[in-house]
Amino acid sequence: MADTTKNLEKAPAQETALAERTKDRPVFMPPVDIIEDANNLYIYADMPGADEKGVNITLENDVLSIEAQVAEVNFDKHTTTYAEYGIGDYRRAFTLNESFDRDKIEAKMKNGVLSIVLPKSEAVRTRSIPIKAG
Amino acid sequence: MITIARPTWRWDPWREMDRMQREISSFFTLPRPRRAASFPPLNIHSGDDDVIITSEIPGIDPGDVELTVTGDTLTIKGTRKPHEVKDGETWHRRERGSGDFFRTVQLPYTVDSGKVQAEYSLGVLRITLPRAESDKPRKIAVTPGK
């Protein structure tokens, strides 16, 4: 068994404002993997139950926000007798410390995992100054 | 004039009370999710003739899950592949779990294993387990004696 124990419980999303949401349902903070290479930043977020239509990604003032609406699943003739996970929406935001090429950000949703590719802007890529050992 | 910047969020006991009250009232509508024994977390929905088990296993290939039913026991087995790190890649955060998982569920009745259905969509596995015909309770008519 590897580190599957990590996401045993869905963590609630962080409250950002005093105002309440109009929908009375839980909001979770999706667990993420964030990886960087020379040209891009990759974000993977686990959001089971959300489809591509319900996902909303915004980049405003270096804050990348991810929001996903999860459709209600009805079990008309069944009653939930035991529950280990709650169902609700997802929300999480990150402050990015580099500038990215906004127009080239790509995102896709597959099997409940959101993948976002943020290409670093040309300016950032050329700005780095190589340091010589002296 | 001096103005002191206040944090936008402050601890408010009334708000906290309100939140607690809402939490308590929600106890009566749905079973409160309890901590899963292990990955993946399961929800069980019971019906008259079958049980539906749903489980959140995001980002797997449906072929990587193995389901077996023997009598009244369901076993879910599978692997969640980790991200393969290539050269020049650095981690910023690593919160998503990976590895092998294994869970067994004992149902209150014998399952008709031939009619079990399982589908995987949007990262949620949904398994329908019908009760075996031979295991269903039979009504016995009581005839008046003489």
Which of B32, B52, B122 comes nearest A78 by C-beta? B52
| CB-based contact B125:B118 (threshold 8 Å) | yes
The answer to which of A58-62, B9-13, B88-92, B125-129 has the lowest mean pLDDT is: B9-13
Task: Give the pLDDT band (50/70/90) at residue B27.
Answer: low
pLDDT exceeds 60 at position A2: no
Interface contact flag, A46 B58, Cβ < 8 Å: yes
* CA angle at B80 for the pair B78 and B83, rounded to the nearest 5°: 160
Which of B43, B90, B95 comes nearest A80 by C-beta? B43
Q: Summarize pLDDT for B28-50 with one digit per residue, the tens.
A: 555 667 776 688 999 999 988 89
Q: What is the pTM of this model?
A: 0.77
| Cβ atoms < 10 Å from Cβ of A63 | 11
Interface contact flag, A82 B44, Cβ < 8 Å: yes
Domain covering A23-72+84-127: architecture: Sandwich (2.60)
The pair of structure tokens assigned to B70 is: 């023997």
E-assigned strands of B1-121?
42-46, 50-56, 65-70, 73-80, 90-94, 99-106, 117-121
- For A86, the closest chain B residue by CA position comes to B33
A75: which chain B residues are within 8 Å (Cβ-Cβ)? 45, 47, 52
A82: which chain B residues are within 8 Å (Cβ-Cβ)? 31, 42-44
- For A51, the closest chain B residue by CA position comes to B122
How many angstroms separate the Cα of A11 from the Cα of each of A128, B9, B49, B70?
37, 20, 34, 34
| Cβ atoms < 10 Å from Cβ of B55 | 25
| CB-based contact A83:B30 (threshold 8 Å) | yes
A128: which chain B residues are within 8 Å (Cβ-Cβ)? none
Task: Give the pLDDT band (50/70/90) at residue A1.
Answer: very low
**Among B117, B129, B114, which residue's Cα sits nearest to residue B72?**
B129
pLDDT of residue B23: 67
What is the percent of chain B where pLDDT is above 90? 44
Q: Summarize pLDDT for A71-114 with one digit per residue, the tens.
A: 888 888 899 888 899 999 999 999 988 788 888 999 999 999 99
Q: What are phi and psi of A50, to 5 degrees?
A: -95, 140
Q: How many contacts, defined by CB atoms under 8 Å, are there between A and B?
A: 161
Give mean pLDDT, residues B3-27. 65
Interface contact flag, B99 A83, Cβ < 8 Å: no
Q: Summarize pLDDT for A28-58 with one digit per residue, the tens.
A: 999 999 999 988 999 999 999 999 999 999 9
